[in-house]
Amino acid sequence: MTGSVVIVGGGIAGVSTAAALRAGGFDGGLTLVDDGGFPYDRPPLSKDYLAGGKNLRQIALQSEGWYDEQRIGLVNRTLVTRLWPAEGKVELSSGALLPADRVVLATGGSAARPPIPGADSDRVHVLRTSDDADRLRAVLVPGARVLVVGAGLIGAETASTAVRLGCEVTLVDPVPLPLAAALGPDLAGWLHGLHTTHGILTLRTAVERLADHGTRGIDARLSGEDTPRRFDAVLLGVGMVPSVDLAVSAGLVVDRGIVVDPGRTTSNPAVLAVGDPARTRHDGVLRPRAEHWEAAQLDGVRAAATILGTTPPASTAGWFWTDRHGRHIEAVGHLPQASHKVVRGSFDDPSFSVFGLREGRVVAAASVDDSTAVRAARRLIDRGLPIDAGRLSDTTVNLRSLLRG
């Protein structure tokens, strides 16, 4: 297959699209345009990269030589300013026009900034790019007083890294149990409790106002408190805003994300969208955006299949992971959808798993330091196999044997 494809965005969704196109036999022109530097993986930004354990080269999604080997034109530190789908062109910030029979928008998003008075201070940080991580790392010194706003994945992981670096960390979130919607209340409560165990002050509250006092620090007034608390730095870890400006200017359908069909095609058949900004309409129903690494990676594979006219990969239960305080947590499916749960091991064990069942079948699972359990659970979910709860909870039973019925 020939022609030309331009991919806008160098995150995991964009790079996966390019890789899948070449692997699938696409022989046309292929260009990846990114407004950042060399394409890198984002999950380490709140962990190893932020702690200084890895550099950008070590978290690159592919080596420099790979792009040449795959005949992918890599255009760094350049913006795409406009799409011309009818003319088969993409306009760059330099004014140059690239030929593009198909365009794949892998534009990602920007860190959300809630309208908190005083949040424009230089002491207030976000964490979305390597530049953000470099700036934040400079202030995460031993003894630094750090306020982390938001106890979701980014906030919790950054809080864990900061306390490991010797900072005094306060973590605030008005949600009673962060991640309970994905993990269920029991496991979410255990996970959130790790912060206290490791010396992080966790408060169920919100930030009402910030006030920068120069070299003396920044004050944060929290809901329900009369006296402000003083910090050296503040991190806003409250989610992301999808980048949809190009889609809007091109006249594509946008509804809290770029609306796509299951094949990742937008309202203009010449344009596809993948990753964080894409929102799927399936059987007339708009689904929430999936903001996880693997979802973005699979989006790229599906977009490539659409362009190539081949069969897309089969749907599979959604999966994500998080690392904090030396523990590795994985989850598949949605535990709150289960009618009852089965614990394999114990919350007091070094590793354990929680399986969610409904009508005798596994619909979700989460594990702590036990990736094998989640891999097995995913296969059980995808196959819809009936399961014996007693065997599932028995740690002497090999989980792979359950896949044989």
Structural domain boundaries in the chain: 4-110+240-308, 124-236, 326-402
Residue among 263, 262, 260 at smallest CA distance from 242: 260
Give which of 331, 304, 330, 299 is closest to 315, Cα–Cα.
299
Within this chain, domains 4-110+240-308 and 326-402 share the same CATH topology:
no
Q: What is the pLDDT of residue 404?
A: 76
CATH architecture of 124-236: 3-Layer(bba) Sandwich (3.50)
By C-alpha distance, which of 162, 158, 89, 151 is closest to 127? 158
Please state the φ and ψ torsions of residue 109, each to the nearest 5 degrees.
-165, 180
- CA-based nearest residue to 337, from 191, 187, 181: 181
CATH number of 4-110+240-308: 3.50.50.60
Helices (H), 272-398: 293-308, 371-383, 389-393
Q: Give bridge partners of residue 380 from the DSSP assignment.
A: none
Question: Among candidates 72, 78, 81, which has minimal Cα distance to 64?
Answer: 72
| Location of structure tokens 């995150």 | 11
pLDDT for res 405: 58
Contact 168, 191 (CB under 8 A): no
Structure tokens at 355: 């399986």
Q: What is the pLDDT of residue 74?
A: 97
Q: Outline where DSSP puts E strands in 226-318.
A: 229-231, 233-236, 240-242, 258-260, 271-273, 278-282, 285-286
Predicted pLDDT at 40:
97
Which pLDDT belongs to residue 333? Answer: 92
What is the C-alpha to C-alpha distance for residues 399 and 308, in angstroms, rounded to an integer? 37
Question: Which residue is listed with tokens 């062109």?
Answer: 89
Is CATH 3.30.450.20 the classification given to domain 326-402?
Answer: no
From the first residue on, what is the mean pLDDT of each consecutive set of 10 residues in the chain (405 residues)?
93 98 97 95 97 96 96 96 96 96 97 96 97 98 98 97 98 94 91 97 97 96 97 97 97 98 97 97 91 95 97 90 96 90 93 95 95 93 92 91 78
Are the C-beta atoms of 271 and 88 separated by less than 8 Å?
no
Check: CB of residue 41 under 8 Å from CB of residue 59. Answer: yes
Q: What is the DSSP letter of 277?
A: T
CA dihedral over 378, 158, 14, 7, signed as positive or negative = positive
